[in-house]
């Protein structure tokens, strides 16, 4: 069975990717420092605890498992936090990714699938966002992701590190079988925060900004189901296995939902009212981010089949009610 090194495999997207890899006939090897991940989420292959900036530990793991490819999910991802402590984001995301790439090249592991973000495009209202759009990040988190993309291109030119870069739009939902799901500490993502407010785990949901230039004044985002997202990663891995060229793909549905629309859909799915309060804008938030790309469908054959808002919230609600990971 072919080993795939999954950095951040104990996190939200990484754990779902590990399940998809195992189902596709691969052996996912999770590498995670558990700062934001959960050991209980590692259910589908071996676990190796370690930090991206620990080159000696990375070398040990590459030598032990000899992975055929890397799926790189590990990193920090909170926009607001990145504006307060940018140095942490550059150290963790950029320096850690540099160390990972160096270790991969030394080990001869030259296929690399990278988890990037649509936030690298910045705030480009009324622009159809596809892979040819200029990248204009407006927060340190997005800047760190763009820097990693640049490093990958440099490492390919110098060392032959071939890559597929996925720029995600907003990820939501959970494994329909509720084996893994979305859980962060602290929680910052809209859907789990909303579900916490629904069941009384926390107080009312705060809507950050109601004066954006959108029909209802709240931010608009393109949401994709986490299981659809990780299906694209399996296709990206096979793309590299088939010796196809390095490529960038947006992963979104092309449909935008405002914060208020997501809240209304949650009420419909759960038959409960979401308690909300209105707050000021968060620094670094864009007005609208919606994909206009068809490249992943045309070239990878990827079609998001689970990404209706009702299904994403329904699957997330099922996970939410089933229990949570324990530290």
Catalytic residue among 12, 26, 65, 141: 141
What is residue 291's DSSP assignment? B
Which two tokens mark 275?
Answer: 């308690």
Is the Cβ–Cβ distance between 72 and 52 less than 8 Å?
Answer: no
Please classify residue 196 by burial: count the beta carbons closer than 10 Å to its beta carbon, then call 0-12 exposed, 13-18 middle and 19+ buried. Answer: middle
- Structural tokens at position 195: 């579900």
Q: Is 121 a catalytic residue?
A: no
Q: Is the N-terminal amide bond of 186 cis, ω within 30° of 0?
A: yes
Token digits for 50? Answer: 């370690």
Question: How are strands ordered across the β-sheet holding 162-168?
Answer: 47-49, 27-32, 3-7, 69-72, 111-117, 162-168, 247-251
Long-range CB contacts for residues 81-88, cutoff 8 Å, separation at least 24: 81/141, 82/139, 82/140, 82/141, 82/144, 82/284, 83/139, 83/140, 83/283, 83/284, 86/140
Distances (CA, A) of 265 to 191, 245, 269, 274: 11, 40, 6, 10
The two beta strands, 220-225 and 256-258, are: antiparallel
**Angle (deg, nearest 10), helices 259-270 and 190-199:** 40
Q: Which of the residues are catalytic?
A: 141
């Amino acid at each position: 069975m072919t080993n795939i090194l999954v950095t951040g495999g104990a996190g939200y997207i990484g754990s779902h990717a590990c399940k998809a890899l195992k189902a596709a006939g691969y052996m996912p090897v999770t590498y995670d420092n558990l700062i934001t991940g959960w050991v209980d989420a590692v259910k589908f292959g071996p676990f190796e605890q370690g930090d991206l900036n620990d080159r000696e530990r990375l070398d040990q793991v590459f030598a032990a498992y000899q992975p055929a490819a890397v799926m790189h999910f590990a990193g920090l991802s909170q926009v607001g936090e990145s504006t307060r402590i940018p140095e942490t984001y550059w150290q963790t995301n950029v320096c850690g990714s540099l160390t990972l790439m160096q270790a991969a090249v030394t080990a001869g592991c030259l296929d690399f699938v990278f988890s990037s973000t649509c936030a690298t495009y910045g705030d480009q209202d009324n622009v159809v966002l596809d892979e040819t759009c200029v990248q204009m990040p407006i927060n340190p988190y997005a800047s760190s992701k763009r820097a990693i993309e640049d490093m990958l291109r440099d490492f390919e030119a110098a060392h032959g590190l071939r890559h597929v870069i996925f720029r995600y739009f907003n990820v939501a939902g959970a494994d329909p079988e509720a084996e893994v799901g979305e859980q962060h500490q602290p929680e910052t993502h809209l859907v789990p925060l909303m579900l916490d407010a629904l069941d009384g785990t926390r107080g009312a949901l705060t809507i950050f900004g109601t004066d954006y230039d959108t029909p209802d004044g709240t931010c608009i985002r393109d949401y994709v189901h986490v299981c659809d997202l990780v299906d694209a990663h399996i296709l990206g891995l096979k793309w590299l296995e088939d010796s196809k060229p390095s490529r960038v793909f947006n992963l979104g549905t092309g449909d935008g939902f405002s914060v208020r629309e997501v809240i209304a859909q949650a009420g419909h799915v759960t038959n409960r009212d979401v308690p909300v309060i209105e707050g000021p804008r968060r620094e670094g938030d864009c007005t609208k981010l919606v994909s206009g790309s068809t490249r992943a469908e045309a070239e990878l054959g990827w079609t998001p089949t689970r990404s209706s808002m009702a299904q994403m919230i329904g699957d997330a609600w099922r996970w939410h009610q089933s229990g949570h990971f324990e530290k």
